[in-house]
């Protein structure tokens, strides 16, 4: 019985270590590199109407000044690129473009991986975005 209890406690401790949590202090060096992942879209984000359209995005941050670009893969042959100069505000990566376009991402780290979760709005088209760090 004691062996079983110890095994259960060890598994529980291991599971706690695997839990992903938002970073308390975003480290700029963690952000540098390429990120890739899916986006959800809504024609009018304030209504919450979700579309079945599922574009993907690739984000690249070039340096510690948070200069980079996001490429939206809208279909197999259509892609749009948006260069940006980001900033960290309230522990989130923020990028703004002309008009009311923006992206706001939070860094989530686990023992094995990192991802950026957040939202975007490109003039009445917005939704959520989840990007995994590419090796």
What count of Cα atoms within 13 Å lies in the side-chain half-sphere of residue 119?
9
HSE toward the beta carbon, residue 66, CA cutoff 13 A: 17
Residue at 126 is within a domain: yes
Any domain includes 48: yes
Residue 101 CB partners (closer than 8 Å, separation 6+): 82, 120, 121, 122, 123
Domain range enclosing 36: 22-133
Any idea what the CATH number is for the domain that residue 67 is in?
2.40.128.20
Please check whether residue 129 lies inside any domain of the structure: yes
Whether the pTM exceeds 0.75: the reply is no
The answer to whether residue 67 is domain-embedded is: yes
Within a domain: residue 45?
Answer: yes
Report how many domains make up the chain: 1
Given a contact cutoff of 8 angstroms between Cβ atoms, the answer to whether 23 and 107 are in contact is: yes
pLDDT per residue as tens, the chain (135 positions): 555 454 455 444 444 444 444 445 678 999 999 999 999 877 655 555 555 567 899 999 999 999 999 998 877 788 888 899 999 999 999 998 887 789 999 999 988 889 999 999 877 678 899 999 998
* Dist CA 128 CA 104 (whole Å): 10
């Amino acid at each position: 019985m004691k062996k079983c209890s110890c095994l259960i406690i060890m598994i529980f401790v291991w599971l706690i270590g695997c839990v992903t949590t938002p970073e308390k202090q975003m480290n700029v060096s963690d952000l540098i590199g390429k990120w890739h992942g899916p986006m959800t879209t809504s024609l009018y984000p304030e209504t919450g109407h979700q579309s079945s359209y599922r574009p993907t995005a690739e984000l690249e941050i070039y340096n510690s000044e948070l200069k980079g670009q996001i490429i939206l893969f809208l279909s197999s042959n259509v892609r749009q690129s948006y260069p940006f100069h980001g900033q960290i505000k309230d522990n989130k990566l923020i990028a703004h473009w002309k008009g009311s376009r923006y992206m706001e991402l939070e860094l989530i780290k686990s023992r094995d991986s990192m991802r950026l979760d957040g939202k975007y709005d490109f003039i009445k088209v917005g939704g959520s975005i989840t990007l995994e760090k590419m090796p």
